[in-house]
Amino acid sequence: MSRRVEPRRSVTKPIPPAAPENGVLRDAAEDGDREEINARAEAILTRYGNSILRLAYSYLHNMADAEEVVQDTLVQFLKTAPTFSGKTHEEAWLMRVAGNLSKNRIRYNRVRSTDELNDELVAEEREDLSFVWEAVKSLPVKYREVIHLFYHEGYSTAEIAGILQRNESTVRSCLSRGRALLKEILKEAYDFEGTI
């Protein structure tokens, strides 16, 4: 007697929904218990909120940023839901996180203010050099375009030669003659003695 073999049917398992962050938030999301999250957050804020705020303010000297650090510290605590052997360890963990978040905020603010300062310096530099570009505009076209491409656009002499379809030696010659003419124009118009 021969046994009949049937093809195997593939069994597909349903894909579980992606869980939110781990810790208290995940547990509460699974249980659907937002009250637990709110109660835990309120207890932490009541117990340590002022200490965290003072620590963050001591780093940042800005109340709005310090309040954001308090919020971020609380979110970090709720995400990770660490367990501690005592209240001292819990407070130490919160303070360490708040300190690190404050330092990160300082770095972020420093980078942001540096970018803003660079933009201001570039604008001032453009205003300071506007008289030079006005003088460049008065040059003959063959010198003006080479000087513009070299200084303003940042192209090399080889790249300018390719763009203008000239020999590189011709571009260097135009650049040199254009600088000399520009120096004369600036010397006459602005009593300029600088080197270009």
Residue where one domain finishes, among candidates 102, 123, 144? 123
Question: In which domain, by residue range, is 117 found?
Answer: 24-123
Residue where one domain finishes, among candidates 68, 100, 123? 123
Asked if residue 1 is part of any domain, the answer here is no
Is residue 182 a contact partner of residue 135, using CB atoms and an 8 Å limit? Answer: yes
192 vs 183: CA distance, rounded Å:
8
Asked if residue 152 is part of any domain, the answer here is yes
Q: What is the pLDDT of residues 64-104, one digit of tens each?
A: 999 999 999 999 988 887 887 877 788 888 888 998 999 88
Counting runs of H as helices and runs of E as strands, what totals does the chain give? 8, 0
- The CATH number linked to 86 is 1.10.1740.10
Q: What is the pLDDT of residues 107-161, one digit of tens each?
A: 887 766 555 555 555 555 556 667 777 788 888 888 988 888 888 778 899 988 9
Residues 62 and 144 in one domain: no
